[in-house]
Structure 1
Amino acid sequence: MPGAGTDKTKTWVVAPAPVVILVEPQLGENIGAAARVMANFGLSRLRLVAPKQGWPNPKAHMMAAGADRVLESAVLYDTLKDAIADCTQVLACTARAHDQAKPVLSPEAAAATLAPPVAAGETVAIVFGRERNGLENEEVGLADAIVTFPVNPAFASLNLAQAVSVVSYEWFKLTGTGLPFAMPVRSQPAPKEQLLAFFGDLERELETVEFFRPAEKRETMTINLRNIFSRMQPSRQDIQTLHGVIMAIAEGRKGPARGGVLDGDEASLLRKLLAEHGDGKVPGERGPVRGLSRLLRRNPTEAERTLWAALIADRRFAGQGFKRQVPVGPHIADLVSFPLRTVIDIEPREEADEARTARADKRAWLSARDYRVLPVAAGAIEADPHAVLDALATALAAPRADA
């Protein structure tokens, strides 16, 4: 697998470019480092004038870090005059003013100056001097123009390879193909429908915890909240993630979907026992035992957990206000939407006669109070939760029988 940006499976950039000439480089390591940055930015023609440690140099190959082809094609010369003999234009890089009447260019301007002759097939060169003292006056005198960098005047000397990298970068920036990659677009912008559904759930949960105080500032606070998310220009995936976060926090307040003490089978047994013993009601009380709905939320059956996870991830149900294991009068509904006055009732695989009778009584009580009851078999959820959601969405879209 390629690492650190080096990918040998990709095509090596081979394009006309200036020749890089290093005059009497003192260290093989600097030659190798210069070759590496040349390869980074698509330059491949390297000429060496009397390197001090001789040539070839194993330390240069070590520092080249894979740019061996630049070093292997490097040409050795005895003098700078010999190295530039076939060049039509030569630029000399120096950090010192040599008091010579020559144009002084920045690296960016140097790249622009050399681009036309390179495109015309001419050989041009950029010359770099020794690590210790750069180019001599007579060597600068051989050049057509001087290249210098906008640097701190009190500390203007760059390492040899660094100087080569700056000029090479400006060359490739001008003539290359641009950035090698861009931010991937993994999700389309969120439509207003999805945003409004998210805002609806967010504001409803904030209302539950009395966030909008004082009441007269509610409208302003709501607008500010919406503007925060609108300025983000969120994608569909962003809103799905944020929606999940908000609902997870809300469910955490009531009791997390996971984190109870019972596994799925034990949770099913708990519901069976409750159904066989009055659905958790105490004689003389109008509703279930206090805290029972929270206990059930903390300990969902596998069918409940599967259906809830699929439902909150499906944008068709976003903003519909469904909640889990909530008391409705004397009963606890598996899933209920008070805005839709709809209860989703999960039927277990096996059910005793007492439990079946209690379930029928619950449905009759809900129907008598204008709740639409949608029965769903636990086995169907475990087999294909998405098919169950399709059926529920169709049922919710259909007009009510009593409408």
Structure 2
Amino acid sequence: MSGTDKTKSGLSIDGPVVILVEPQLGENIGMAARAMGNFALAELRLVNPRDGWPNIAAQRAAAGADHIIEKVALFATLEEAVADLDLLFATTARAHDQAKPVMSPEAAAQEIRGHVTGGGRAGILFGRERAGLTNEEVARANRIITYPVNPGFASLNLAQAVLLMGYEWFKLATSGALPFAMPERSERASQEQMEAFFETLVRELDRVEFLRPAEKRDTMLVNLRNIFFRMEPTKQDMHTLHGVITAIAEGKKGPAKGGVLDSEQATRLRALLAEQGQVASLPDSSGSLRGLARLLRRNPTDAERMLWHALTRDRRFAGQFKRQTPVGRQIPDFVSFVHRLAIELVNKEESEAVVADRAARRAWLESRDYRVADIKVADIETDLETELARLQAIIAEAK
């Protein structure tokens, strides 16, 4: 039963009947039933089992395939067991010199699929563990199934033979659908985000003089870039890598000691701080304010990262803005002391506490001759260049 998800219901698929001819061991019957259960084969018929029926050894070996074991049909002869079937296959590892089609399990599954879909009744014969099927028993079949196995060691355990046939049948009946896939835990990182990470990486490598000698610098950068771009990392991957580089560069401990949050967590952090009134009511507010600013810088949202990357690379703004820097007792998202301009990022569906906190911060900043520009997060993510042009116009108005 290991690996079975009991919260999921089994599939019910009309399929071939499995007929075991004079099986010898109860354990093999049980394991054959288990293999049938793996691949949604439900009808098992036994022809004169050696140790009789019911069989406690079979029940134990079935490992949970009780729905098959409990409905086993018992027959005294093969003729009786196949009387209602109109397409019969015999599995064998030996050539019986009979003029009838010989098929692989895959080809047989395809024919069975078409036959059952058309309303027919199909069955597959499996012989005794020791001797397989007799010539007379094979003669009753319309087709022969044989497995592509090592000719020097062709004997299969009874349950193995049932399992291989069941696998080919189920794969065809379900179009080979897998029960699960790799979860999409995060969206793929954007080019903007990749570039921001790469710029951070190169800056830190330059700081430790890794990219030497100078004549090989460009080649080394191309190789480094290819390493990360071949990975096709997700946004979460980029957050993690940013955190790794920052922790190494600053000598800080990992996430348990103030690591990097993902964008959603960082957004919730900012909302929580707004709802708690940030540090206005805390003792030693100047020290708390500096600590809070460091925390916010260490945990940028995706939008904040995108805008910061643009502000530091664009010639119109390079060197003019700081991110998450205290202005008195307020911490705007971005501030330019040169232009006395603060930028506030506005998220979708903000709570009343967040809106009120931003309004109070705006009033405080404007009372001290700072202008405040609100930029919607959605606009940064969809049309950053338009927002940069608007920011340039705001700066030009004050000149």
Q: When the two structures are superposed, what TM-score results if normalisation uses the length of structure 1?
A: 0.69
Q: SS of the residue aligned with 2:153?
A: coil
1:214 aligns with 2:194: no
1:316 aligns with 2:304: yes
Gaps of 5+ in 1: 261-267, 273-298, 322-336, 350-365, 375-382
Q: Distance in 2 between matches of 1:34 and 1:73?
A: 14
Deviation at 1:183, TM superposition (A): 2.3
Q: Are 1:342 and 1:371, in contact at CA under 8 Å, matched by a contact in 2?
A: no
> Percent same amino acid at aligned positions?
49
Q: Are 1:201 and 1:319, in contact at CA under 8 Å, matched by a contact in 2?
A: no
Partner of 2:322: 342
CA displacement, residues 293-342 of structure 1 (integer Å, 9 cap, x when unaligned) = xxxxxx9975355334433x555136848xxxxxxxxxxxxxxx994463
Q: Distance in 2 between matches of 1:250 and 1:372?
A: 31
Q: Are 1:13 and 1:42, in contact at CA under 8 Å, matched by a contact in 2?
A: yes
Q: Distance in 2 between matches of 1:24 and 1:230?
A: 61
Q: Distance in 2 between matches of 1:198 and 1:70?
A: 57
1:204 aligns with 2:203: yes
Q: Are 1:34 and 1:161, in contact at CA under 8 Å, matched by a contact in 2?
A: yes
Q: When the two structures are superposed, what TM-score results if normalisation uses the length of structure 2?
A: 0.70
Out of 100, 107, 110, the position equivalent to 2:108 is 110
Deviation at 1:38, TM superposition (A): 0.9
Partner of 1:181: 180
Partner of 2:124: 126
Partner of 1:194: 193
Deviation at 1:371, TM superposition (A): 9.6
Partner of 2:165: 167
Q: Distance in 1 between matches of 2:62 and 2:42?
A: 12
**Superposition pairs for residues 208-247 of structure 1, below 5 Å?**
208-247=207-246
Deviation at 1:58, TM superposition (A): 1.7
Write the letter of the residue equivalent to 2:326: D
Q: Distance in 2 between matches of 1:217 and 1:319?
A: 32
Question: Are residues 188 and 8 of structure 1, via their aligned partners in 2, closer, same or farther at CA, if it must alter by over 3 Å?
Answer: closer
Q: SS of the residue aligned with 2:326?
A: strand
**Superposition pairs for residues 4-403 of structure 1, below 5 Å?**
4-7=3-6, 9-10=8-9, 12-176=10-174, 178-252=177-251, 303-304=292-293, 306-311=295-300, 313-317=301-305, 320=308, 339-340=319-320, 342=322, 344-345=325-326
Q: Distance in 2 between matches of 1:221 and 1:103?
A: 62
Partner of 2:348: none
CA displacement, residues 70-100 of structure 1 (integer Å, 9 cap, x when unaligned) = 1111110111121111211111111122222
Question: Are residues 128 and 257 of structure 1, via their aligned partners in 2, closer, same or farther at CA, if it must alter by over 3 Å?
Answer: closer
Q: SS of the residue aligned with 1:91?
A: strand
Q: Distance in 2 between matches of 1:208 and 1:87?
A: 79
Deviation at 1:108, TM superposition (A): 0.2
CA displacement, residues 250-270 of structure 1 (integer Å, 9 cap, x when unaligned) = 2227x889879xxxxxxx98x
Q: Which has the larger radius of gyration?
A: 1
Q: Distance in 2 between matches of 1:190 and 1:256?
A: 22
Gaps of 5+ in 2: 259-282, 310-316, 331-335, 343-352, 363-371, 376-386
Question: Are residues 303 and 141 of structure 1, via their aligned partners in 2, closer, same or farther at CA, if it must alter by over 3 Å?
Answer: same
How many residues are aligned here? 329
CA RMSD of aligned residues (A): 3.9
Q: Distance in 2 between matches of 1:13 and 1:47?
A: 20
